[in-house]
């Protein structure tokens, strides 16, 4: 049995928070660059140029990619051969609070959704999701999700009689209706199957996948949805053009014979996350 120390976990989470808030992942920057090259509308092209400039300035001058430093979502994959020296939730929350304070990142978490919307002042508690896997390692992903795009999240409980075209229509209509609110071009995560809560969580996980779906049918579906979304005319930050969505990623799950949940995680142009393995 391998033990991961309090200090190892704390340091790893702190480093990931910094990387996610100040540096776009390479594939995200490349996706924006590719859209800039293909964009036909001058205003949309200029908008994409500014978004690329923003990413460069954030990295070189250590300025947050966005003034909304988001909710912190942490995904843990804990190997069965691993123990952690201490309570991982306490360690993660402390690391996030300390790092947000020391790097002057905006705190955006309130104590209660209805009756006490007082800022906690620490951007905690963190939203932590844990999977137990085989092995003797601990995989950590820190995902920063802004409020504007989170407000555009969507869930539709289809019945199994729904065909794929109806699902595509729902997705495209949701992206079009969201318009400029989630700050496109979007990175779109789609959860299909499971229960309502599983589908929503899988939409979060899906958007973090770098590569298209390994299954040919799902990969083709991702491509169709991407093409259709990019005909909506929403464009970068809602200024029109042919680049509304950068990538589409799907994560499916087994489901009940009577259900077909489909959930959407619309992430803004600044897809902020970082991962490591201890």
In a domain, 31, yes or no: no
Number of folded domains that form the chain = 2
User: Tell me, what's the pLDDT at 68?
Assistant: 97
**Residue 1 · residue 83 · CB < 8 Å:** yes
Nearest to 69 by CA among 35, 103, 117: 103
In a domain, 59, yes or no: no
* Alpha-carbon distances of 274 from 24, 39, 89, rounded to whole Å: 9, 28, 18
3 falls in which pLDDT band (50, 70, 90)?
very high
Among 105, 130, 145, the domain-final residue is: 145
Per the document, the length of the chain is 278
Residue 265: strand, helix, or coil: strand
Q: Do residues 139 and 153 share a domain? A: no
Q: Do residues 169 and 74 share a domain? A: no
CATH number of the structural domain spanning residue 12: 3.30.360
Q: Do residues 189 and 138 share a domain? A: no
58 falls in which pLDDT band (50, 70, 90)?
very high
In a domain, 56, yes or no: no
Q: Do residues 117 and 197 share a domain? A: no
In a domain, 212, yes or no: yes
Sheet holding 127-133, edge to edge: 127-133, 71-79, 138-145, 272-277
Q: Do residues 8 and 114 share a domain? A: yes
34 falls in which pLDDT band (50, 70, 90)?
very high
User: Tell me, what's the pLDDT at 139?
Assistant: 98
- Buried/exposed 163-194: b ≥16 CB within 10 Å, e otherwise: eeeebbebbbebbeebeeebbbbbbbbbbbbb
In a domain, 169, yes or no: yes
Q: Is the pLDDT of residue 151 over 90?
A: yes
User: Tell me, what's the pLDDT at 56?
Assistant: 97
Query: What is the arithmetic mean of pLDDT over 236-245?
Result: 97
Query: What is the arithmetic mean of pLDDT over 227-240?
Result: 97
User: Tell me, what's the pLDDT at 267?
Assistant: 98
**Residue 241 · residue 40 · CB < 8 Å:** yes
Q: Do residues 134 and 88 share a domain? A: yes
Angstrom distance (rounded) from CA 177 to CA 184: 12
In a domain, 103, yes or no: yes
Sign, CA dihedral 274-55-249-264, equals: positive
Residue 90: strand, helix, or coil: helix
Domain region containing 82: 2-23+65-145
Question: Using one digit for the tens of pLDDT, what is the confidence trace for 84-97?
Answer: 999 999 999 999 99
In a domain, 35, yes or no: no
Q: Do residues 140 and 266 share a domain? A: no
């Amino acid at each position: 049995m391998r033990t991961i120390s309090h200090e190892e976990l704390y340091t790893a989470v702190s480093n990931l928070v910094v990387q996610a808030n100040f540096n776009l992942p390479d594939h995200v920057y490349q996706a924006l660059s590719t859209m800039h090259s293909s964009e036909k509308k001058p205003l949309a092209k200029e908008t994409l140029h500014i978004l690329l400039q923003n990413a460069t300035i954030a990295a070189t001058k250590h300025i947050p990619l966005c003034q909304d430093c988001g909710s912190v979502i942490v995904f843990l994959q804990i190997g069965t051969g691993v123990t952690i020296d201490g309570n991982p939730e306490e360690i993660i929350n402390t690391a996030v609070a300390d790092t947000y304070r020391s790097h002057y990142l905006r705190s955006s978490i309130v104590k209660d959704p209805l009756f006490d919307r007082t800022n906690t002042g620490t951007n905690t508690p963190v939203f932590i999701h844990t999977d137990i896997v085989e092995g003797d390692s601990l995989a950590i992903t820190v995902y920063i999700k802004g409020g504007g795009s989170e407000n555009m999240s969507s869930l539709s409980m289809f019945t199994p009689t729904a065909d794929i075209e109806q699902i595509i229509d729902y997705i495209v209509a949701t992206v079009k209706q969201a318009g400029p609110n989630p700050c496109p071009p979007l990175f779109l995560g789609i959860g299909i199957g499971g229960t309502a809560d599983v589908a929503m969580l899988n939409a979060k996980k899906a958007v973090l996948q770098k590569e298209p779906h390994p299954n040919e049918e799902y990969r083709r579906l991702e491509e169709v949805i991407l093409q259709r979304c990019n005909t909506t005319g929403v464009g970068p930050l809602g200024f029109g053009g042919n680049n509304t969505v950068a990538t589409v990623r799907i994560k499916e799950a087994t489901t009940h014979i009577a259900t077909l949940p489909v959930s959407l995680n619309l992430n803004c142009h600044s897809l902020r996350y970082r991962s490591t393995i201890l």
